[in-house]
Structure 1
Amino acid sequence: MATAAALFSRLCRARPSSSLSLLSPPRVLSSPLPPPLPAPASPHSPTLAFLDAFRSRAFSSHISDNREPELNSFGVDSPLNSELLKVIADTSGGGEDDAVFPVRAAISMLESFHDLSGFPWWLTIISSTLALRIVVLCPLILSLHKLKTIGEFFPKLPPPFPPPFSGKSYIRQFLFFQKKRKAIGCPSYVWPLVPFIVQVPCFFLWMISIRKMSLDGHPGFDCGGALWFQNLTELSHGYSGFIFPFLIAGLHYVTVQISFRKPLVAETRDIFDLLAKFYKQYLDFLTIPIAITGFCIPQGSQLYWVTNSSLTLIQQITLRHPAVLAKLGLLDNSQKGASEQIAASKTAPSPGLQDNIPTAATKETVSPEKNPLDSPEKWHRIPIEEMSPKELVTLAVPFLNSDDKESAIPLLKLALDKDPDYVRALVLMGRVLLLKHVNDEANEYFERAISKLSLAGHSADAEEVDLLILSSQWAGIACERQVKHIVL
């Protein structure tokens, strides 16, 4: 009866005062009768018949100071009036907290998956996140194929924008770039943005949906967790409350470092590399706000965020492995050929037996005046010992641009054994040792390269000038590290 009384009071407040004066029952039987209602236009009018029945019931009730007899006289407990009051309450106060359609659809999908699988809610969140990442992996692989094609056509294309202070029109230069790009069949430069356009909305949609389910106390969320996060609707608390926020921030930071790992010989030469550098610094700074945000969201959202970040890290590591890239058809031709050469050299027979085993030939013969490494499709599978220093350095460059930099060291050492004054091999060898923090040996290679270039005098060759600049800079870095090591 208390619920019915509350609904009736809400209904009375919603009605105008004129209706209340007609509908309110008299409190004292001795009060004069209200004036008779005007004659209805139709003798069978339902509204007036209802009011007439209500008035007769009100005067036949007992005297009482509480409202319960009055509600009984109004017939609140009848099924029809209960439904009427429920509809009025829903229309007056409901519908304000309804989610948008994508969020409702995501919640419905999660509920269906939970009912179908029978998993607890924590396992439902993890498995649904894994399924979502598998679905959005297809656009990522497609965009990587397009990006590989763009990289192959990039040297043949003019720059999309003119150099600064050149006086050329930006619009004309961009139109000229678009014309050349379409002429040679290069994909659009929008393809690298496809993973961002697809994955980011999906991440926020799942995040908002799980957050709403947690805050609304979705059935089963209060006991659908595990370990220290039994209640998925609560915020982090206690010493265990630091686990999820710090784990989210740590996964974000590690993923950024792996994603922006630059090639060995790549330098900041244009505006795009500079923008990438600043963007990486911005993402590094976001680690602290992300950790703070982790304390402000329910544990259900934290569980989803940790799962998504872990899958992102696994994806970044997997897509950088040469075997996976080869399976997906994303391995660069030069790097693919270099891997085959290294594998062949590791399984090469001893020199005494090598004369009795014929060397496998490739599809067609390369002319002797052309460098075999310029066309990976036409490579001979020849022993590494028979290659020239230039060919060995060219073979080592793909490994310097990948994560397998150790494989480049034997090639560079062999090139320097054949030609100790080969400047490019000296600079690259010093760079590898500098990255390994072997500063003394790196400085020796840089000094040999600098002395060789200095003795050659002024050169108009742009490559030699670049090598002199790089070797001087890296030699300074090696000397600075040596001084710091001595001081410490």
Structure 2
Amino acid sequence: MRLALLPFTVLQLHKLKRIGELLPKLPRPFPPPMSGRTFKDQFQHFRREKSAAGCPSLLWFIASFAVQVPCFLLWLTTIRRMSLDHHDGFDWGGTLWFQNLTEVPNGTLGPIFPLLIAGLHFVNVQVSFQKMFTRTGDTFDSLAKYYKLYLEILTLPILFISFNLPQGSLVYWLSNSSLSLLQQISLKHPYIRKKLELPDRDTSVFVAKQKELDSSEEVEINTSRESRKIAAQNLSAKELVNVSIKFLAKGQKDMALRLLRLALDKEPDHARALILLGQTQLQNGFLSEATENFECCISKLLLNGHPTEVEDVDNLILSSAWAGVACIRQGKYDEGIVHLERVAVMKEPEDPKTKAHYYEALILFSSALYNVGRKAEAAKYLRIVVAYDPSYRELLEQCENDDNT
């Protein structure tokens, strides 16, 4: 069975390699909380992007399991039935302590097979999940840990079941588990993986591609007295964001993106890092990725209710405004207006910088309303803007004239 299924297993690993390369670049299949998106729209968006990128079906994650487990159960139950029916040779064809394959484990040496089978199951689980966790705290990572725990707990039921199966079935089960372990260890060897053109490490949905970010990248920070180099790994998320802003000011977007992703690796809830990452992606034309980061920021800020701290309010305004811009650039005016309207219903902030961002968002909201034909509403919000900054009066007059005509 192992030899027959080996080509299929190798094919699955190639598919998982491709999925691992493309999945981090795709939007999430489920909408972030309070993002204004429906599950249906978000999932359809995910499917369109996945199809356009040529990403293989996610069913490849369970392909090997779906084929090998039925085969294993079929052959195990078949041998059990042959043992119980005293198939020719089963009652005398054993060896050592299991002369009779039709009997269940018994005697002093009886527990050897059950203990070996349970132990091999536990070892197979450890080898399968080796280096699969990224410590990023994402959903896939949590599911993987719970699934591993479930498989580890199964060791006890397997031990109990093994004591109640004929020794003929146990011989097959032990052989199968031994070959599974041998296959896993072999497929993890660098030389074999290179020959089969597999990635250097296991690729799965639970593996984040952070190798480039986890390297000891050095960034130069100028101080008043001297110029020195500090490893990016040693900086906090806030410091990484501040350094990334300097790189953005110099036009070095690639370095800024790497630092922002490293900041989010250290602190996934860092709102400013999400906003800057989204803005940079938006400038580079990665609209869906930018939208996802803005909406993720909005979800985190609204998780415990409407924020009251000045910095959080400012981040909510910025992320909502830019999420609206990103959606509108993709032709999703309804979704964009939902994000911009989130700012419009807010109370005018007192902080000067936040207030400026608030009125900039209102201008964007008015423009979106104007473009979808809701000119009276656009004029309403433009009057509020003009009361704050009279320089926009000409824009208001144009909107009112168009509305009257």
- CA distance in 2: counterparts of 1:414 and 1:161, whole angstroms: 36
Report the equivalent of 1:422: 231
In the aligned structure 1, how far is the partner of 2:238 from the partner of 2:38?
Answer: 44
**In structure 2, how many angstroms separate the alpha carbons of the residues matched to 1:457 and 1:179?**
34
TM-superposed deviation, 1:193: 1.6
User: What is the CA-CA distance between 1:423 and the residue it aligns to?
Assistant: 3.8
Structure 1 residues 242 and 454: alpha-carbon distance in aligned structure 2, compared to 1, 3 A threshold: closer
**Residues 413/180 of structure 1: CA separation in 2 closer, same or farther (3 Å cut):** closer
Could you say what the CA RMSD is over the residues aligned between the two structures, in angstroms?
3.3
Provide TM-score, normalisation by structure 2.
0.53
Pick closer, same or farther for the CA change 1:241–1:165 going to 2, 3 Å.
farther
Structure index of larger Rg: 1
Give yes or no for the alignment of 1:236 onto 2:105: yes
Instruction: Sort the Cα spacing of 1:203 and 1:460 in 2 relative to 1 into closer, same or farther, 3 A.
Output: same
Report the alpha carbon displacement of residue 165 of structure 1 after superposing the two structures with TM. Answer: 3.5
Query: Separation in 1 of the partners of 2:112 and 2:167?
Result: 11
How many residue pairs get aligned? The number is 239
**C-alpha deviation, 1:279, in angstroms:** 0.6
Cα 1:211–1:268 change in 2 (3 A) is farther
Q: Does 1:217 align with 2:86?
A: yes
The residue identity in structure 1 corresponding to 2:38 is S
| Counterparts of residues 294-309 of structure 1 (less than 5 Å) | 294-309=162-177
Are residues 1:313 and 2:313 paired? no
TM-score (structure 1 length as normaliser): 0.45
Kept in 1, the 8 Å contact 2:91–2:100? The answer is: yes
How far, CA to CA, are the matches of 1:221 and 1:164 in structure 2? 60
| Corresponding residue for residue 35 of structure 2 | 166
CA distance in 2, matches of 1:149, 1:414: 30
Q: Which residue is 1:185 aligned to?
A: 54
* Structure-2 separation of matches of 1:300 and 1:454: 59
Q: 2:78 matched to 1:269? A: no
Closer/same/farther in 2, CA of residues 271 and 457 from structure 1, 3 Å limit: closer
**Aligned partner letter, 1:319:** L
Residues in 1 aligned to 2:6 and 2:105: alpha-carbon distance in whole angstroms: 31
Q: Would the aligned equivalents of 1:223 and 1:230 in 2 still touch at CA under 8 Å? A: yes
CA distance in 1 between counterparts of 2:240 and 2:52 reads: 44
* Paired AA for residue 60 in structure 2: W
1:238/1:317 Cα in 2 relative to 1: closer, same or farther (>3 Å)?
same
Offset at residue 455 of structure 1 (A): 11
Residue type at the aligned position of 1:234: E
1:194 has 2:39 as partner: no
Q: Does 1:147 align with 2:13?
A: no
SS class of match (1:223): coil
After superposition, give the CA deviation of every residue in 1:317-372 in whole Å (9 maximum; x if it has no partner). 11111111111111259x9xxxxxxxxxxxxxxxxxxxxxxxxxxxxxxxxxxxxx
Distance 1:456 1:136 in 2: 51
Per-residue CA deviation, residues 70-90 of structure 1 (Å, 9 max, x unaligned), is xxxxxxxxxxxxxxxxxxxxx
Large movers: runs of 4+ above 6 Å: 412-415
State the distance in 2 between where 1:199 and 1:296 align. 23
Given that 1:236 and 1:299 are in contact with CA atoms closer than 8 Å, whether structure 2 keeps it comes out as: yes
Q: How does 1:26-175 map to 2 (within 5 A)?
A: 132-175=1-44
Deviation at 1:463, TM superposition (A): 5.0
The alpha-carbon deviation at position 184 of structure 1 amounts to 2.2
Partner of 1:289: 157
Q: Relative to structure 1, is the Cα distance of residues 270 and 133 closer, same or farther in structure 2, using a 3 angstrom cutoff?
A: same
* Structure 2 Cα separation of the partners of residues 319 and 277 of structure 1: 22
- Gaps of at least 5 residues in structure 1 are 1-131, 336-392, 398-411, 425-448, 471-488
Taking the aligned partners of 1:237 and 1:302, their CA distance within structure 2 comes to 13
Conservation of the 8 A alpha-carbon contact between 2:218 and 2:229: no
Per the alignment, in what secondary structure is the counterpart of residue 109 of structure 2?
Answer: helix
> Residue deviations 1:255-310, cap 9 Å, x none?
1011111257x114321111111011111111111111110000001111110111
Matches of 2:27 and 2:143 in 1, distance apart?
A: 20
Matched residue, 1:354: none
Tell me: CA distance 1:230–1:460, structure 2 relative to 1, closer, same or farther (3 Å): same
Change (3 A) 1:134 1:164: farther
Query: Would you say the 8 A contact 1:268–1:274 is kept in 2?
Result: no
The answer on whether the counterparts of 1:453 and 1:464 sit within 8 Å (CA) in structure 2 is no
Deviations 1:194-219 (A, max 9, x none): 10111011000100000000011111
- Does the CA contact (< 8 Å) of 2:237 and 2:264 recur in 1? no
Q: How does 1:314-463 map to 2 (within 5 A)?
A: 314-332=182-200, 394=212, 421-424=230-233, 449=234, 453=236, 459=242, 462-463=260-261
2:120 is matched with which residue: 251, 256, 262?
A: 251
Deviation at 1:468, TM superposition (A): 6.0
* Counterpart residue number, 1:60: none
For residues 199 and 459 of structure 1, the distance between their equivalents in structure 2, rounded to whole angstroms, comes to 51
User: Contact conserved, 2:237 with 2:263, CA < 8 A, in 1?
Assistant: no
